[in-house]
């Protein structure tokens, strides 16, 4: 959807943050150690107005907009009839974001990169020290008036947004991958109201963010960002400074806005550097990992929780609250990890009006949906689900409302072999391809679909066979991978070539247990998966993870594992080196193997697996069904139909063979019946063709 550009020629901005400033007061001189005394507190005030000529200037004939929420990052006030808002001096803080919460029926102006302009970033003394990515310069005394233009728009009850988790480019090469996948596909659509990137927008290098934003601007829709654990100033010494460069380049690290009957809330739940104490300074052994060195933890700050309660107090009860934060409240894949869960999940639920009963179940609160990224997995967590690890990492109760972990635009960190477009296949940790979500809203109801990158939206699952041959192949590679002995060969014992045709089965494979594996990439507990072999009666497949308090169960996905355990890109070598200078000064050679993360090189003399923590040997969206043991020799067809919680139905089919060979079912034989070609073509015929014809 085309959005309105705000003229930057007449708008005074602070750094590149898009701060709305119209009357700027001179900076004051103050020592970094000076306390904020009453004499140095200032009222924050300004106007929210309808910018009819869209020039960013509040003209005399442009009326204020009444009843609009404006926040200082803690308190929330409503504009008066003339559009004016005021924060009294007692609410002044030297480090705060002043922002307007866009109301329904209005639009925000955007800059040349389709970044919404709705905030003023105030940091009186600037970042506490010089930061590699710039941080924030001192703003001094706040402006006399901080005004926010709004543009009158249509009132929308029906609209669609795009939600992406973790594009996470670590280099300019990977920015190109984002351009050719996420940005390209969204640029080809005209039905996207806005884009939300659920954190890890970058891969540790905020210097790449302007180019990212410029590429994503091709989608011609406002792009809202969530701060992730790879979007930080890692040289910051306090959590308060850790998002300074993010705030400088993009805008506030938490905020809200409304479209129709949907109120979007963006929170920053990455605490960096974290400490082993609770908010009151009391030691807590659960967070002891924070003392081992600078690292992060999943925790919404006390100030944000206070702001959220104040924000929601002005939102109608019938509005759907869509929470957005980087680290999920809980997840399937990282269910045992405290730092990958939200410490304040229970308080978050309570702010939304959910109360826990004595039986551990929740009494319903406001209609809500949580969106997140971080884990590089697609996870549909439905109300009532529970996994074992949550009791250790976050909480011992079920989900009170739906949560979608929105996968990763980069898949498993741009790993794996190249596809036909020279973009890494990069299957995610639970077996889904890289991609993003399209979420459609109708009033306060929503419906979501996963869009796999480079594939039609109708493609929603993969089918493969977990056969004795596959299990043997997987065991050989797995044993080799975990072998730490000196006798270990640098070359894996088997590769994808040895697996061969995994869809040609012998009767003995059926007798020994062969299962159809259905990875429904956006599947949930409430999905139905129906399977039909040939013209037999359909049967229901079984979800391998029920979400009833169990932990992670081994579930092999041959479709994804075949790509993850035999990566030919590792073996690419050349004589010319390609040295890469990166922001922290280290060098990497891209010419052999391939580069992931922060110039970490992954090299080998042959194909080998990606790291085992990325293998799809468990998943909460896999269904299985035994292949019938009585199938006759010949070709067979299996058709799968899945229906999700919203009623979307998708179909997938595949052909496979059952063969009774003379001696083996080796798929590398030219003729599986062991009838050799030399019986069809006498040796004299081959001799007559000449070697140049072969």
- The series of mean pLDDT values per 10 residues for the chain, 694 residues long, is 38 37 39 58 97 93 97 98 97 98 98 97 97 97 97 96 97 95 98 98 96 97 98 97 98 98 98 89 87 93 98 98 97 95 94 87 93 98 94 84 97 95 96 98 98 97 96 96 94 91 92 97 98 98 96 96 94 79 60 76 84 96 97 96 97 95 52 42 46 39
Cα dihedral: 149, 152, 157, 163 (round 10)? -40
Paired with 263 in beta bridges are 258, 321
| Contact indicator for 197, 324 with CB cutoff of 8 Å | no
**215/39 Cα distance (integer angstroms):** 46
pLDDT of residue 236: 97
For residues 199 and 165, give the distance between their C-alpha atoms in angstroms, rounded to a whole number.
Answer: 6
Per-residue confidence (pLDDT) for residue 669, from 0 to 100: 55
- Asked if residue 316 lies in contact with residue 67, where contact means CB atoms within 8 angstroms, the answer is no
Q: How far apart are CA 605 and CA 489, in angstroms?
A: 11
524: phi then psi, degrees, rounded to nearest 5? -140, 180
pLDDT of residue 596: 81
Burial of 256 (0-12, 13-18, 19+ CB in 10 A): buried
Give pLDDT, residue 398.
87
Residue 592: predicted pLDDT: 78
Q: Which domains does the chain have, with CATH numbers?
A: 1-153 (2.60.40.10), 156-452 (3.60.21.10), 461-567+607-658 (2.60.40.10), 669-694 (no CATH)
Six token digits for residue 285:
């052994």
DSSP 285: G
Q: Residue 512 gets which letter from DSSP?
A: T
Which string of b and e fits 387-396 if b means at least 16 CB within 10 Å? Answer: bebbeebbbe
- Predicted local distance difference test score (pLDDT) of residue 356: 85
């Amino acid at each position: 959807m085309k959005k309105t550009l705000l003229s930057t020629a007449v708008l005074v901005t602070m750094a590149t943050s898009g701060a709305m400033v119209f009357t700027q007061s001179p900076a004051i001189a103050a020592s970094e150690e000076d306390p904020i005394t009453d004499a140095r507190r200032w009222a924050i005030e300004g106007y929210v107005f309808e910018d009819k000529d869209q020039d960013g200037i509040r003209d005399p004939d442009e009326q204020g907009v009444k009843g609009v929420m404006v926040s200082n990052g803690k308190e929330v006030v409503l504009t008066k009839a003339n559009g004016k808002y005021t924060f009294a001096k007692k609410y002044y803080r030297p480090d705060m974001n002043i922002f307007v919460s866009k109301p329904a029926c209005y639009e925000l102006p955007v800059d040349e990169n389709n970044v919404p302009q709705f905030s003023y970033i105030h940091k009186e003394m600037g970042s506490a020290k010089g930061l590699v990515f710039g941080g924030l310069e001192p703003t001094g005394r706040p402006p006399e008036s901080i005004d926010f233009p709004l543009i009158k728009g249509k009132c929308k009850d029906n609209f669609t947004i795009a939600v992406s988790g973790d594009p996470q480019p670590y280099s300019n090469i990977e920015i190109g991958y984002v351009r050719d996948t996420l940005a390209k596909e969204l640029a080809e659509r005209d039905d996207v109201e806005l884009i939300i990137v659920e954190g890890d927008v970058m891969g540790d290098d905020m210097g790449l963010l302007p180019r990212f934003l410029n590429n994503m601007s091709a989608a011609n829709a406002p792009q809202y960002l969530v701060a992730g654990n790879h979007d930080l100033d890692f040289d910051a010494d306090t959590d308060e400074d850790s998002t300074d460069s993010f705030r400088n380049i993009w805008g506030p690290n938490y905020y809200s806005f409304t479209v129709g009957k949907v109120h979007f809330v963006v929170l920053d739940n990455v605490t960096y550097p974290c400490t082993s104490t609770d908010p009151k300074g009391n030691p807590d052994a659960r967070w002891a990992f924070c003392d081992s060195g600078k690292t992060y933890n999943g925790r919404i700050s006390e100030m944000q929780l206070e702001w959220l309660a104040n924000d929601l107090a002005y939102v109608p009860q019938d509005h759907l609250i869509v929470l957005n934060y980087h680290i999920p409240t809980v997840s399937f894949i990282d269910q045992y990890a405290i730092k990958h869960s939200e410490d304040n999940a229970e308080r978050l639920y309570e702010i939304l009006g959910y109360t826990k009963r004595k039986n551990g179940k929740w009494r319903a609160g406001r209609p809500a949906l949580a969106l997140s990224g971080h884990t590089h997995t697609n996870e549909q967590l439905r109300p009532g689900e529970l996994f074992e690890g949550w009791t250790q990492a976050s909480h011992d109760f079920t989900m009170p409302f739906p949560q979608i972990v929105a996968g990763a635009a980069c898949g498993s960190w741009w790993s794996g072999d190249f596809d036909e477009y020279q973009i890494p296949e990069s299957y995610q940790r639970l077996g889904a391809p890289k991609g993003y979500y399209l979420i459609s809203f109708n009033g306060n109801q929503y419906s979501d679909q996963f869009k796999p990158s480079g594939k039609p939206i109708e493609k929603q699952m993969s089918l493969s066979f977990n056969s004795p041959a596959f299990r043997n192949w997987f065991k050989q590679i797995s044993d080799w991978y975990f072998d730490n002995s000196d006798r270990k060969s640098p070359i894996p014992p088997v590769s994808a070539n040895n697996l061969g045709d995994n869809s040609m089965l012998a009767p003995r494979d059926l007798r020994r247990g062969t299962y159809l594996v259905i990875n429904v990439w956006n599947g949930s507990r409430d999905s139905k998966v129906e399977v039909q072999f040939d013209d037999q009666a359909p049967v229901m497949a079984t979800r391998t993870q029920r979400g009833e308090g169990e932990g992670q169960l081994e579930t092999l996905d041959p479709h994804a594992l075949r790509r993850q355990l035999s990566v030919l890109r590792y073996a690419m070598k050349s004589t010319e080196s390609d040295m890469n200078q990166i922001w922290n000064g280290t060098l990497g050679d891209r010419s052999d193997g391939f580069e992931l993360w922060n110039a970490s090189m992954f090299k080998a003399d042959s194909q080998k697996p990606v790291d085992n923590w990325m293998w799809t040997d468990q998943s909460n969206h896999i269904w299985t069904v035994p292949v019938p043991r009585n199938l006759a020799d010949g070709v067979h067809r299996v058709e799968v139909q899945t229906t999700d919680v919203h009623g979307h139905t998708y179909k997938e089919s595949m052909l496979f063979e059952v063969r009774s060979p003379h001696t083996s079912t080796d798929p590398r034989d030219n003729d599986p019946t062991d009838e050799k070609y030399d019986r069809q073509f006498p040796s004299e015929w081959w001799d007559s063709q000449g070697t140049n014809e072969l």
